[in-house]
């Protein structure tokens, strides 16, 4: 993993594969003035596959290149058949020119929980951008919880994330994301340049729903900024949880009550709610707050309630150390 400081080395000579979104086309043309796009450590690949065996779920395939590291599974899930992987990173975060590629496959009737060990820092950038592409698939009757720790967007960061989820019949998944707009404790707030995070879920009959988080504090011509009324308002941290379960009769009212109560009881300001997803896909939960841990706690309360409904077991504890 190279640092983000412009260096003396050769500029990146790899032809980039093209921007993942038109808003990133300008960045894609900029050479990376250190380790080039595609150099060792720049392209992280992570593959995980879970299968259902006689003694519950097992991790049957794993492949990780820097900055991903997988040191095995953990058996602390409150669900007896579930398997857990906390993906680790030996690096200081994501730098300009980094491209991550994550594939998680959960086979029929397996129950898997994939998370990260700590928050992911998207470092300051002066050229190009960083991107992560994630593909998740869940086989018939399987369940996946994909709830990484928060993403922290440092000053000048340009970050594109795309996440595709495909569910087979009877499958379900919980997807969580928390975006922290800077190192808030040192007063860094909405100093990143652009963050676009897109989520797309499909089932046996095609598209279920799609969602996009698009924040570009550096783009004055882009209209109302992150703090505009109706966007994030007075809040800074933004969290989303999708409970995708087309074949389950989940109540968005129940999840709304849980998350609204968690926000009302929080030690600092937060506001959250839940709504029915299109195409009977499940429930979307959104929480806005001042601090990352408050937003994560709000999402966790909804996650746990949803998991009891879907699997008969609460969500694993949030604490990872």
Partner 1 sequence: MSDDATLSAFRLADSFLPDGSHTASYGLEQFVQADRVTDADELEALLETYLRRQVGPADLVALRAAHAGAGDGDLDAVLRADRRLAATTLAAEFRESATAAGGRLLDLQCAAREAPLLERYARRVDARDAPGMHPAVLGAATAVAGVGEREACLLCCHALVTGLLGAAQRLLALGHTDAQRLLVALRPAIRAAVDDSTTRALADMTPFTPLVDVLTAEHERADRRLFTS
CB closer to partner 1 out of 105 and 291: 291
Kindly tell me which of 3 and 275 has the beta carbon lying closer to partner 1.
275
Question: Nearest distance from residue 265's CB to partner 1, in Å?
Answer: 16
Distance CA(291)–CA(69), nearest Å, equals 28
Where are any strands of DSSP class E within 123-236?
130-138, 143-146, 151-153, 158-167, 172-180, 194-203, 206-215
Angle at CA of residue 157, ends 198 and 145, nearest 5°? 40
Nearer to partner 1, 21 or 189 (CB): 21
CB of residue 187 to partner 1, shortest distance in Å = 23
H-helix or E-strand spanning residue 253:
helix 252-265
Which residue lies nearer to partner 1 by CB, 209 or 303?
A: 209
Give residue for tokens 């919880």: 145
Give the span between the Cα atoms of 5 and 55, in whole angstroms. 49
Q: How far is the CB of 9 from partner 1 (least distance, A)?
A: 35
How near is the Cβ of 258 to partner 1 at its closest, in Å? 12
Measure the CA dihedral 89/179/124/43, to 10°: 40
Alpha-carbon distance of 192 to 185, in angstroms, equals 15
- Least spacing, CB of residue 171 vs partner 1, in Å: 18
Q: Which residue has the tokens 């009302």?
A: 264
Question: What's the closest the beta carbon of residue 195 comes to partner 1, in angstroms?
Answer: 11
- Coil, helix or strand at residue 146: strand
Dihedral in degrees, nearest 10, Cα atoms 250, 253, 259, 260: 180
Binding interface with partner 1 (CB under 8 A): 21-22, 196, 198, 207-215, 222-224, 228-233, 235, 238, 240, 252-253, 256, 260, 271-279, 284, 286-288
Of residues 42 and 194, the one with the C-beta less far from partner 1:
194
Shortest approach of partner 1 to residue 284 CB, angstroms? 5
Rounded least distance, CB 213 to partner 1, Å: 6
DSSP secondary structure code for residue 54 in this structure: T
Q: Which is nearer to partner 1, 103 or 252 (CB)?
A: 252
Which of 37/195 has CB closer to partner 1?
Answer: 195
> Which residues, other chains included, contact 42 with Cβ-Cβ below 8 Å and sequence gap of 6+?
1, 2, 35, 36, 97, 98, 99
Output 169 or 228, the one with its CB closest to partner 1. 228
């Amino acid at each position: 993993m190279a640092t983000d400081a412009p260096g003396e080395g050769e500029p990146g000579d790899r032809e980039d594969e093209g921007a993942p979104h038109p808003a990133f086309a300008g960045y894609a043309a900029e050479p990376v003035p250190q380790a080039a796009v595609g150099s060792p450590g720049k392209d992280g690949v992570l593959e995980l596959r879970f299968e259902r065996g006689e003694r519950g779920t097992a991790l049957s395939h794993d492949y990780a290149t820097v900055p991903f590291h997988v040191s095995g599974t953990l058996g602390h899930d409150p669900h007896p058949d579930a398997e857990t992987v906390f993906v680790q990173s030996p690096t200081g975060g994501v730098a300009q020119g980094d491209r991550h590629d994550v594939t998680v496959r959960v086979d029929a009737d397996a129950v898997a929980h994939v998370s990260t060990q700590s928050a992911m820092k998207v470092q300051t950038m002066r050229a190009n951008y960083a991107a992560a592409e994630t593909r998740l698939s869940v086989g018939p009757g399987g369940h996946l919880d994909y709830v990484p720790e928060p993403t922290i967007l440092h000053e000048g960061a340009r970050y594109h994330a795309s996440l595709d989820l495909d569910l087979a019949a009877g499958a379900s998944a919980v997807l969580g994301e928390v975006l922290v707009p800077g190192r808030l404790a040192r007063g860094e707030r909405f100093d990143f340049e652009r963050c676009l995070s897109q989520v797309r879920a499909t089932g046996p009959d095609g598209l279920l729903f799609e969602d996009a988080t698009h924040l570009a504090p550096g783009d004055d011509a882009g209209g109302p900024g992150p703090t505009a009324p109706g966007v994030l308002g007075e809040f800074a941290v933004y969290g989303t949880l999708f409970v995708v379960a087309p074949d389950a009769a989940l109540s968005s009212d129940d999840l709304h009550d849980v998350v609204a109560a968690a926000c009302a009881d929080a030690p600092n300001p937060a506001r959250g709610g839940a709504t029915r997803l299109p195409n009977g896909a499940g429930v979307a939960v959104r929480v806005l707050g001042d601090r990352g841990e408050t937003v994560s706690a709000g999402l966790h309360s909804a996650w746990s309630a949803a998991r009891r409904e879907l699997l008969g077991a609460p969500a694993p504890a949030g604490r990872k150390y």
